[in-house]
Amino acid sequence: MATLEHRGESVRVNWRLGGARDGSRQSCTFRGPAGARVELARAAKQLVEARGHNITRAECYAAILGEDPDVAEVVPTFRAWVEMWLREREQARDIEAQTIRNYRWELTTRVVPRLGHLPLSDIDAAAVKDWAGWVSGRRTTRGNRNRNTLANQLLSPTTIGKTYRILHACLGGAVPKWIPVNPAARPDGARKNPHGLPKRERFEGMFLHPHEIELILSHCDPRITDLVKVALATGMRLGELLALQAQHVTSAGAQTVVQVRQTLKDDGTIGAPKSAAGVRAIPVDDATAVLLRQRLAGRRPRDWVFPNPWGGLWTEDNFRKGYWWPAVAAAQRCPEHPPPLPAYQGRGRRPTWKAHDVSTCACPTRLHRRPRPHDLRHTHASALINAKLSPKKVQVRLGHANFTTTMTVYAHLWDLGEAAELEAVAQLLLPPATARGPGG
C-alpha cells in the first residue's frame, strides 16, 4: 500500500515496486502551494494503488505531471485552487466573511463536482461550456442540510448565472501564475454567450397596488405592522430594517432621516451594508416620522427600532416564516370561499391552515399574489418613479451600487414620453417644411 509522508513544504508518496516487501523502494515528492501538493500526492497514491504498485517513480511523475519532475511546476487542480483562492481573499480582506462562505458553497456544490479533478491548465473554454451544460440539468435543493431535490425544479438561469460569475472570478485569480487567460471570459469578438449559459428571463419586480397593501396590513400581526409600513415608506432592505437602531433615526431640521449604517447578514451577524452605496440617508414623510418617533420614545441609542416579540434581534427566517408568510396567506383567503381544513380527529389540537392553504376563487376581496418582503422595496421604488423622481435620486435612495441596476429593474416604469412631448421632438427633428419635401 502506498503511503503519504508530509515533509515540511512537500508531500512524498512512498511505495515498493510490485507491492512486495522486497520490491525496490519508489517515491515521488510534490512541492508547491499546500493545497496543490496534497492534491497531486493523493492523485499519485491512487494511481500507484490502481496499478497494483507496478509503476516506477519516473512513470508516476510522467503520468501525474506530464513532464520532467525536476523542472515541472505543480499546477493545482481546480478543487485545490478554490481553497487557495478563497484563502487569498480572506487574507486580503477585500470580501466579507459571509461572502467567502457563500462563494465556497457555490463552488464546492455546483462547480467542483464537474471540474474539481482537472488541473487548472486543462480547463479551457470547452470545459467551461461542458460545465454550463451539466449545471443546467442540476436540480435545486430544499435547504442546505438534507439536499432533498425538488423533482421538477431545475436550477434557475439566475442561480446558474450567479455561480458562473463566481467561477469567472475564481479562474481570473489564477491568471497569469497558473493559466495565461481566463477560460470563463468571453474572447474578443465572440458572441455574447459563448459558454451556452441558459438565458435569463427579464426580472419583473412585484409592485403592489394600494388595495393589496391594505389587505396585507390588515392581516399582519401587530408586532410587524410598523416594520411593514416603514419598509414601504423607505424602500429599505429587510436586513437593513431588522438591524436599524434608535441612534440611526435622526433629524435634519424639520425632517426626519433614517441613516442606513448596518444590516443583518445571512449568518445572523451585523455588518456593513451590501455595498458602499448602501450607506445612505433616507428622508421620510411626516406620517412615517410620527410612527418612528412614537416607537423610539424612551429607547436607548443602541436599542432596536423593530425588535422581535422577545425584545431581541430578529432573524430573517423567523420574520418570514413566523409572521410575513402567515399574513400573506391570510390575505389570500377569501372569507366566502376559504380553503378546506383537514378533518378533526377528535383529539389533540384542532387543525389550522398552513401558509400554503389559500383560496383559489376570483373574488376581488382577497389577495391574488404572493409577494415577498423584498417586494415592499420594489413597491416603494415604483411609487418614487410615479412621483416623478429622477432615476439618479431613485438609485441613491435605494442604495444601488450602480446606475445600471436601477435602470435594469425599473426603467420600464419611467414615463417614456406623452404624445404631445413626442410630437414636439418630431418637430425639432423634422420640421413641417422639410417633411413636405421639395414638391410640397
* Structural domains in the chain plus CATH codes: 3-65 (no CATH), 78-172 (1.10.150), 203-339+353-440 (1.10.443.10)
What pLDDT was estimated at residue 177?
84
What pLDDT was estimated at residue 354?
83
**Sign of the dihedral defined by the CA atoms of residues 236, 242, 243, 248, in that order:** positive
Residue 327: what are its φ and ψ, rounded to 5°?
Answer: -70, -45
Q: Would you give per-residue pLDDT tens digits along the chain (440 residues)?
A: 789 998 888 899 998 887 877 777 888 888 888 888 888 898 889 888 877 787 888 888 888 877 554 434 457 889 889 988 998 888 887 777 888 889 999 999 999 999 988 888 889 989 999 999 999 988 876 444 444 444 457 888 888 999 999 999 999 999 988 888 999 998 777 677 788 888 876 656 789 999 999 999 999 999 999 999 999 999 999 999 999 999 999 987 788 999 999 999 877 889 888 788 899 999 999 999 999 999 999 999 999 999 999 999 999 989 999 999 999 999 999 999 999 887 777 777 787 888 888 999 999 999 999 999 999 999 998 888 888 888 889 999 999 888 777 777 776 666 655 666 666 766 767 666 544 455 54
Residue 318 is which amino acid?
A: N
Cα gap 142→149, rounded to integer Å: 6
What pLDDT was estimated at residue 336?
93
| Grid cell locating 171 | 479562474
Cα gap 191→127, rounded to integer Å: 17
Q: Where are the alpha helices (DSSP H) in 66-151?
A: 78-92, 97-110, 112-115, 125-136
What pLDDT was estimated at residue 390?
87
Q: Are 376 and 228 in contact (CB under 8 A)?
A: yes
Spell out the residues 6+ positions from residue 399 whose beta carbon is closer than 8 angstroms to its own. 237, 260, 273, 274, 275, 277, 278, 279, 280
Residue 23 is which amino acid?
A: G
